[in-house]
Chain A
């Protein structure tokens, strides 16, 4: 370490603000999403002076937008997202995206301004305890109190955010530290002796896993967001291992795209609104191979009835995910790509023939035959599922990225839009943040200027972040906001129908704006569609328009999102048809 400092000591001291820019450049950052304010003005000045060419700054309209945009950028590129906001309200507005990135393991570095260090603790103007507030919702955070530490801290933050199980890292920088001069340190200065993520799998365990796999009669791969986070190598390895084994594959909401949805062995998403075949395969399997997923309650349903007859292999980079909610037989702590490649190698070396999967495949075919995503078609009104189906058909051959808000539309998107590649699907899974999709789409579009980026939205969610339409217009980001407008907080309405005797307390989307006029007011294009016969043409018009679009797709208002595993029920107790009202027992009602 000392070598680095010595070398740099000959260099001229630079201001903290310049150090920030230089460190970001050294980290390969090309885009920052941010919003200025008093406590970050020196950094904004450095951005101004370094010229627009080097790092692109995307000015948002609310700091939450900067955070979700950075998440969208990160999720669609595999790189680290970066956001820059001021102290106090700027930092508190960032808390939601930080918590969101933590839950979904999204690599993100957030730079927050802080009041000058001598004022910390005095309730100064726009002071808040940013490290205190974000301590429990970020992977790590720093308060920098010496300009000489600034560069190293930034490099450490990027390393922590992107390695191991990725997550958000916050760096709080008092204003005087941005003005003061200090020495620059390169990324070789990173010194984190207590942080060493384990990425290499234990080979004895890999061999034990292959033994289980070679003996399995009813195996299933249960994959998650970790496969996406691990990078293209992991998706490639998953496909290869699946081709070798022929095992069926299901995935969590976060893992969609790691395995092609058009593959014959794809079971669809699992969990609360997952497919009948995926959930039954999970319930009845004799071997579950969990790769980069965490047995979330939305996935397992009733935990004491979860997959009762299976042995479970769990591959995860985070040791705390092992045995957290479900006890597993064989934990493998490793990076997904490395573990999957090791499994491939070991599988190929072992020339014993695995048992036939024909009986298992036949059973799965029967479940598949239920066609659980079927819905009642309508000639006069647009069914939300139909809208997603048409959107998929008309965009699947393009270079398309999908983001979503949170609610029924999100689940319909997961069910009816199909992903064949990783990093194409951006959604708020763990935190379930309404208002994620529009700013995330902005982040995706910045990273992929020529792609078709669509936010599949609900009319309620999108109003939480509507102002970011202005960001899209300012930065020439031709995102498409495809609103499944059912005039309800549909998912809330569905739960009130299911659980609260159809007492629809405050879940109606009243006083909706005219979305077409709203789009025009922002300088984008608005489209309205309320007839299935017009849908294709309108979607084509949306795609053809070179600019941001708000598409107000009026869908049937009382549609329920099915199938569904009600709270407190097991995987094999799905509601397939219509909701009657007595599906959930008292215990289930207390669950979320």
Chain B
């Protein structure tokens, strides 16, 4: 929190109903001790306090110190987002919460696997679009492809829309991963 000079500030605004505040989307990187149940604590907190989870990924990132990184995409008013961070930090195994929203501060990526089945023109068209998106073919049969695609979430959404009329059978995606730009640690 930056420190405005309280002497020169207007008296507080007290209505916390935030009718005028708009929802914002945030990507949070949550560093946790990788102990049993830690994910349940984090998810349970979101459920209990009525916060949104748009996507969630988790894996251990530091094997020696048993630290996991949870990436959560959430949305809420600035006031709610401030509370989410403070409430997360109340959890004993949570060490650090960083806001790495896809912007100047951070980059976000998702990995998705698409199964597309079809023949003839549609099959050719699917392959052509995949090339444009730089999706890799990781499995193929006479009647189907599996494409692997990495990118920001909207790129994956876009690819999905294009594949739909071409025989999209199934889609599996990781949810958002993020990391801060620049030389420093997040």
Contacts and interface: CB of A to CB of B under 8 A. Distances in A.
Nearest to A208: B6
Interface stretch (B9-17, B114-122, B157-165): B9-17
Given A194-B95, A325-B16, A320 B7 contact: no
B9 A311 contact: yes
Interface string A259-282: 000000000000000000000000
Nearest to A196: B95
Given A208-B5, A208-B6, A311 B11 contact: yes
A329 B92 contact: no
B154 to A, nearest CB: 32
Contacts of B3: 204-205, 208
Contacts of B9: 311, 329
A336 to B, nearest CB: 18
A328 B15 CA distance: 11
A482 interface: no
A309 B13 contact: no
A208 B3 CA distance: 10
B6 A136 contact: no
Nearest to A164: B90
Given A131-B37, A311-B6, 5 more contacts: A132-B40, A143-B37, A208-B5, A318-B90, A329-B11
Interface string B72-85: 00000001001100
Interface of B: 1, 3, 5-7, 9, 11-17, 31-33, 36-37, 40-41, 44-45, 48, 65, 79, 82-83, 86-87, 89-90, 92-96
A215 interface: yes
Nearest to B7: A211
Contacts of B31: 194
Interface string A309-341: 111100000111011111111110000000000
A311 B44 CA distance: 35
Nearest to B37: A131
B85 to A, nearest CB: 9
A327 B11 contact: no
A136 B87 CA distance: 12
A327 B13 contact: yes
Contacts of A309: 11
Interface stretch (A299-307, A536-544, A554-562, A574-582): A299-307
Residue of A205, A212, A309, A324 ringed by the most chain B CB atoms within 10 A: A324
A240 interface: no
A143 B41 CA distance: 14
Nearest to B48: A136
B11 A308 contact: yes
B6 A320 contact: no
A195 interface: yes
Contacts of B16: 303, 325-327
Contacts of A326: 12, 14, 16
Contacts of A135: 37, 40-41, 44
12 contacts: A140-B92, A160-B92, A194-B92, A194-B93, A195-B92, A303-B16, A310-B11, A319-B86, A320-B87, A322-B86, A325-B16, A327-B12
A327 B6 contact: no
Contacts of A53: none
Residue of B15, B45, B83, B95 ringed by the most chain A CB atoms within 10 A: B15
Contact of A323 (B7, B82, B89): B82
A194 B31 CA distance: 9
Contacts of A208: 3, 5-7
B58 to A, nearest CB: 16
A192 B90 CA distance: 13
B172 to A, nearest CB: 28
A323 B5 contact: no
Contact of A192 (B32, B48, B86, B92): B92
A139 interface: yes
Nearest to B94: A194
Contacts of A322: 86
B118 to A, nearest CB: 44
A311 B37 contact: no
Interface string A345-382: 00000000000000000000000000000000000000
Contacts of B45: 136
Nearest to A288: B12
Contacts of A160: 92
Nearest to B15: A304
B94 A320 contact: no
Nearest to B13: A327
Interface in A183-200: 192-195
B90 A320 contact: yes
Contacts of B44: 135-136
Contacts of A324: 83, 86
A187 B9 CA distance: 47
A323 B33 contact: no
Contacts of B32: 194
A574 B15 CA distance: 20
B86 to A, nearest CB: 4
A43 to B, nearest CB: 22
Nearest to A328: B12
Interface string A123-162: 0000000011001100110010000000000000000100
B33 A194 contact: yes
A307 B14 contact: yes
- Nearest 3 A-B pairs (CB), nearest first? A320-B86, A194-B95, A304-B15
Nearest to A312: B12
A177 to B, nearest CB: 14
Nearest to B82: A323
Nearest to A212: B6
A55 to B, nearest CB: 26
A175 B64 CA distance: 30
Contacts of A318: 90
B46 to A, nearest CB: 11
Contacts of A212: 6-7
A140 B40 CA distance: 12
Given A135-B44, A326-B16, A327-B16, A320 B89 contact: yes
A215 B7 CA distance: 9
Contacts of A304: 14-15, 17
Contacts of B93: 194
